[in-house]
Structure 1
Amino acid sequence: MSWIDDPEFDTSKPFGPQTLPYGVITAAGRQEVAVRVGDHALPLAPLAASLGERLAALVSGDSLDTLLAAGHTQWTELRARLTEIVTADTAPDGATLVPLSTVDTVLPFRVGDYVDFYSSRYHAENAGRIFRPDGEPLLPNWTHLPVGYHGRSGTVFVSGTEIRRPHGQRRGSDGPKFGPSARLDIEAEVGFVCGGPVASRVSTSDADQHVFGVVLLNDWSARDIQGWEAQPLGPFLGKSFATSISAWVTPLEAFDAARVDVPDPGHTRMDYLLEKQPCGLDLRLEVHWNGALVSTPPFKEMSYSCAQQLAHMTVNGATVRPGDLFGSGTVSGPERQQWGSFLELSWGGKEPIDVGGTQRTFLEDGDSVVITATAPGANASVVGLAEVAGTIAPAE
């Protein structure tokens, strides 16, 4: 028995004691670090006496920045202590449960560098067939390295933030034209929040020392702007206007039972991308468009793990720092109902998608998208990832 009276705080539910994600809530006019227990937030600063001075200092501020910088040993120690606290028979001094419905959540950490990858073979092949119907679906480099690009950290938003339809140049019949995007899309992704010491040339074996936790990520994409500008360079204005992430960061440690080998991408991996232990994750995503379930992307099908992505993005001497964020790339599976973008589901806008009885291709003003995910936990438990949600506002 636990002192926490919440039916969702159970190992059979996504946010039971096996998950314990961290976030930052706004309550009584102040921001404070909290851990999610079922459908409640448990503020951590008031638990200083139970946590002890050293651990309490990690979560006494108004963001996760101090915790991210602390490093793996203290992440593990704090998680173990919080597990003891939330599963105890009696509440510790200062404990207050706050219903999630009564608080606002904010971006829980200061985002440093942001990198986004392109690591689903199924998504890459689908996109290749759509954009290059007469060519090979995969470009030659794809099976040798996790393709990625350096994105814009200043437009990473917390789940629930309204997404404004972007302006930009797009292809016209007689030359480029300027205006709001008419082909606004999503990409259902998984994001990895970095922490620990500043480092470069991180090996796959050391990735756990630098990846604090996991969020869901929506890489909003203006396909018409992207298609015109990305010749020959990569994503720019078609991507940089908005990226949404979960308000709650689930510790990487919570996914120990969900570790799987990544699929063979079709080549012999170079030494720096080899893994000594499984680093893929068996995450099951769901994409809801205006309340209708339109896709169920399987993350275990990704051809590159977070460890390989981190190794690749630091192999040239670039650093990873606390607060850095990187996205997995669109998660897509082998079956149509497992594709993680509307570009794929509508096959480039040619085949409308049934969205609760309405036929759609790309996002219209007022549309909302919610992405959720779970993973198998230890002892038949379920580990949750907090949703990432957004609603499209008209262009200004």
Structure 2
Amino acid sequence: MSRSSRIRAVAHEAGANTGVEVDAEDLSVPGVWTLSWVDGPTAPTLAAAVAAAGRRLGVPGDDLVEVRYERAVTVRAAVAAAAHRMLRDGAAPPVSALAEVVADTEFGVDAEVEGQAWEVADFVLEGSGMDPDSTSLGEAEEVVRHLLEAGRNGVLVDLWLEHRPGPGRPPVLDTAGVVDDARAAVGALYRRLQDALLTGSAHGADPRARQLAAQSIRGLVAELVLDCQRADAAQAVIDGFGMASLSTEIGLSRSALGKQLGSLDEHTRTLGWMREHAAQWARACHDAADALRGQGTALPAAARDDARRLEHADPDGGWRAVRPTLAPARRLVADVELWPHPQHPHRRALLDLLDALDAAAPPTRAERHQRRPFTPGSRDLLGHHTDDHSTMLSQLS
């Protein structure tokens, strides 16, 4: 058997043992063979497999001295390597380190890159326009930039909601990235509430008094967080998502979430009314803002900011677009001094609508079921909107 036949036989067996097809060529330098393959094991791992195959086949060691190893890595595999690091370490590697990460990553038999990393890679590649079979490192770097921008939690939540055959286990969110912000915000809130509860006491610095206040604060903060969660759940319910379905979607039993949150009536009452009267409310907000800003006298800064918020009420945006105007509207109609006279028609119009809102009953089950439910990828429902609860932590610090 010639040397070329022996090397090709070794390459074939080494490839079979590591799960890849290995090509053996001596085109570049006479007598120097190049073994090339796609994805699969790293070069050191294949070199060890070649040496082992050579021993089993009785190939002389000198035949394998002048051998080069060249691995090509597809965009899909490179992104999977980055996704593996993201899942393991909490963040994707920087783009500048991708070549080194890929070179050190095993993709063949006994590969370190597991199933979820491949799922993430396929998911982010799906909308990238990149050819997953390309071996361009530059294209892989572009996709990895998306992993870095979206972050571990963002990618896994989108994968869970948008790219699954049916209900699946929700991801475990990594809180490490928000610990410092949360600690600062909660610490500032804790100290502020503690001082407020002990104001006027001659023993405000006494550790017993501080611990007594702390016990009260724990209960208060827990209830506030629970109410934020109720508000979020109510938004889903008002759009037709049943509580039992919402509970099972996030990995709980059908009744668990409802038991945890209790009644959502106070929240659904407001949202249900604003859903049905969004356009009417928006027009009243615009009219009131125009009346306040057009009366020729300067408004106080706070009132001016509230009037500006009313101007942003979108009559075509549904309840999500007008909900942020509710608190500013209440403040403006409550301050009679802002208006030319208390019975100004546009103040009266807002007051009448607020009275109707305050008297409204929560929507019935049948009314809620008439709404369009959430579906995976429903950006308009899952939406990126701002409300009082979503900015709570930032306002605490």
Q: Give the structure with the larger helix fraction.
A: 2
Larger RCO (CA under 8 A, 6+ residues apart): 1
TM-score bracket for this pair, using the shorter chain length: under 0.3
Specify the structure having the higher radius of gyration (Cα): 2
| TM-score w.r.t. length of structure 1 | 0.23
| TM-score w.r.t. length of structure 2 | 0.23
